Amino acid sequence: MGLYSLSAMLLAAVVAIAIMAVSETFAIFVPGLLQGAWLTLQIALLGCVLAVTMAVLAALARLYGPLPLRWLANTYVEVFRGTSALVQLFWLFFVLPHFGLTLEPFTVAVVGLGLNVGAYGAEVVRGAILGIVPGQWEATVALNMTRWQALRRVILPQAFVAMIPPWGNLFIELLKSTALVSLITLGDLAFRAQQMNQTTMKTIPIFTLVLLMYLVMSLAITICMRLLERRATRGLARGRSA
């Protein structure tokens, strides 16, 4: 979908929420849900930052690290891809304290989801780096650059472009999986909705609002990634679909 239709959808969703916020019957739900949405957003954003960091580190370690580091990164990726995010959150929250490490629920949420998505992201980063044609590396050798200089200045900036769309998907996955944190005592958007639903039984307005709020956040992510992609492909335009 184009940027304009995405923006139109975003605008429509925001307007719908605004209308509900001023209508008599729905207005009472909005502040509580917004509070939940704010927590969800914080977890998602910090989780994304951690995920990208871990993904880049793990991908570089797997590709170019010395053996022990490569092994460590492989283990990280396989463990976090091979078990469910819920189990990881529970493990960090309920099991780690038995080993003497007690983390705040918020920290567990960010670390758990960030590490989980980072493991998938590591494959995205690795694939994008391996997708750069050998001729680019050869040019850096001919210019006498070190491997690190080549990565930093030539390979990663190009791989970055290829990574943007899959990262967009991962960020949205992360946003959606934040609903799991209600199970480790956090009052996120999903948690607030369930709570209100249990006390008021107004299922339709509550979950309509919740749906719209998640939609606003994921549309915002999609739009940001599109803008980023457009910026990053400037100059590369010819021969690629615009």
Partner 1 sequence: MNTANDATEQPMVRFDGVTKSYGALTVLDDLRLDIGRGEKVAIIGPSGSGKTTVLRMLMTLERINDGVIWVDGEPMTHMEKGGRLVPADPRHLRRVRAKVGMVFQHFNLFPHMTALGNCIEAPITVLGLSRREAEERAAELLDLVGLADKKEHYPAQLSGGQQQRVAIARALAMRPKVMLFDEVTSALDPELCGEVLQVIRKLGSEHDLTMLMVTHQMGFAKEFADRVCFFYQGKICEQGNPQDMFAAPQNERTRQFLRAVMDSV
CB of 2 to partner 1, least distance (A): 23
Pick from 3, 75, 138, 224: which binds partner 1 (CB under 8 A)? 138
Q: State how far the Cα of 103 lies from the Cα of 115, in Å rounded to an integer.
A: 15
Q: 188 CB contacts (<8 Å, ≥6 apart)?
A: 36, 39, 40, 43, 178, 179, 181, 182
Smallest gap from residue 35 Cβ to partner 1 (A): 42
Picking from 137, 239, 217, 212, the residue whose alpha carbon sits closest to that of residue 172 is 217
Find the shortest distance in angstroms from Cβ 137 to partner 1: 9
Residue with smaller CB distance to partner 1, 87 or 141: 141
Instruction: Compare residues 49 and 143 and give the one whose CB is closer to partner 1.
Output: 143
Taking the complex as a whole, how short is the minimal distance between the CB of residue 145 and partner 1, in angstroms? 6
Closest distance of CB 227 from partner 1, Å: 17
Tokens of 187: 């009052």
We find the least distance from the C-beta atom of residue 154 to partner 1, in angstroms, to be 6
- Binding to partner 1 (CB under 8 A) within 53-112 occurs at none
72 to each of 84, 131, 173, 232, how far by Cα in Å? 20, 23, 25, 32
Question: Does residue 139 interact with partner 1 by CB under 8 A?
Answer: yes
Rule CB under 8 A: which of 203-242 touch partner 1? 235-239
Q: Of these, 1, 143, 224, 227, which contacts partner 1 (CB under 8 A)?
A: 143
86 HSE (CA, 13 A, CB side): 5
Token pair for 24? 């008599």
The answer to whether the beta carbons of residues 116 and 79 sit under 8 Å apart is: no
Binding residues for partner 1, how many (CB under 8 A)? 22
Does residue 185 come out as left (phi exceeding 0), alpha (psi in the -120 to 50 range) or beta? left
Closest by CA position to 235, among listed 167, 164, 169, 157: 157
83 versus 136: smaller Cβ distance to partner 1: 136
Q: Is 100 or 235 the residue whose CB approaches partner 1 more closely?
A: 235
- Among 18, 20, 23, 45, which residue's Cα sits nearest to residue 207? 20
Residue 157 binds partner 1 (CB under 8 A): yes
CB closer to partner 1, 144 vs 198? 144
Q: Which residues bind partner 1 (CB under 8 A)?
A: 135-136, 138-146, 149, 153-154, 157-158, 161, 235-239
